[in-house]
Amino acid sequence: MSLKEKYVQHKSLFESFISLYILNGLNLILPLVSLPYLLRVVGPANYGIYAFVYVIVQYVLLISNYGFDFSATKQIAQSKVSFEKISEIYHAVTLSRLVIAFISIGVLLVIAPLVFTNSIHYKLLWLGLGIVIGDIFVPTWLFQGLEKMRYLTIVNVVSKLLFTLMIFFVIKEASDFQYIILLNGFGSVMAGIISTIIVYKVLKIQFTFPSIREVKIQFKEGLAVFGSTLGMNLYRNSNIFILGLFVSDTSVGIYAAAEKIIKAIQSIVSPIAQALFPHMSSKFRTLTIQEGIKLLIQIVKKIAVLLLLLSITTFLFSSHIVQLMGGDAYIKAIPLIKILSLVVFFGGLNYLLGIVGLINLNRQKDFFWSVMISGTFSILLLLITVVKWENLAAVWSMVLSEVLLFGSCCFSIYKLYHRNNLNG
């Protein structure tokens, strides 16, 4: 088969790859522009305060996402022929997210005074709620399921460019750190407005008020994925929260900067996995379990090489990366990034095996329990060691939990393959 024929056969997949690479390239490049400026102006302590509140806002975001990023993507990918069904799913998921978000925000505002130690935390929480509201109206799952990621790229290019430019205009001195989260919210709301225009004007989705029955279906479909995705993100985001309760703002800021850098590096490879999810969802419908697992393993082997090279490069150039991004004030982040370079490798494989693999193979429960075990291990290890090791404890808890999750996902796929092989 010629290269042209391959492109025609997998045109939508190639377009998703390209769009996601532009998007993640943006996620990589823009922090290289704004983060060094931001870290130097506000300093480690103030950045630590911002990171602590931001991660709490992310908890609300995770809950409002429910399992829709994967359950709705899967439904859209399998319903492309029915425009009416797509419209039904879109409105039901959006309404469901609004209900969950407002309940979550209400609960958070009640318990926040018990968690926050000073008024600045509470102020930042209010300023950051725009992040949640805006995100509800960015249907990543819709664009992904339709394999029209170019629209998501447009949305993110505009919103992230605005956020980056506003950083230089608004953040002028250390005390301005409190406005970073407000700018995050502004960018999110802009993304939501642009997305809504695309949904109704470009995709021509007609407004319909979803039925209670359809909303119930979406809650049911998302529930199976919700536990595992919430659990995975909960323990990955819990490190900053736990550190914020036990260590200094400066220590939190050093760790948060290291984690931010690692996430930017992960964005180099993440478009592959994100584009593969809806593509593999459609593929697995026509394959047996054994054929699906064989195809998954072939893909994992190829991407593992890229992940390993990226992980090694991160380790070797960690000191240069820190100097470039934060300068001397963040020199203590170097050993953290060296250890976290393992997360680049194992975290990428876990997404492929767990999200692209187990969820698309309808083994959500297996993935859920794998996440719960590794997540519980991570949080307990951090709680036991945080007083003595501080941010180093957060680094090791994350790395070891990713290794544990990797082993568990491998075992689940091995067990599934041999069980179906015997039955066959």
> In 3D, which of 349, 371, 347, 369 has the Cα closest to residue 231?
371
Helix (H) / strand (E) containing 144: helix 140-145
For residue 8, the model assigns a pLDDT of 47
DSSP character for 355?
Answer: I
Residue of 206, 78, 90 whose CA lies nearest to 141: 90
Ranges under pLDDT 70 in the chain: 1-28, 31-32, 79-81, 224, 227-236, 271, 273-275, 278-279, 282, 420-424
The residue ranges of every structural domain in the chain are: 3-423
SS3 285: coil
Q: How many helices (H) and strands (E) does the chain have?
A: 16, 0
Q: What is the pLDDT of residues 23-41, one digit of tens each?
A: 666 666 776 678 888 888 9
Rounded (10°) CA dihedral 341, 347, 352, 355? -160
How many residues in total does the chain contain?
424
**Cβ atoms of 177 and 50 closer than 8 Å:** yes
E strands, 139-245, in order: none
Q: Assess contact for 349 and 403: CB atoms under 8 A.
A: no
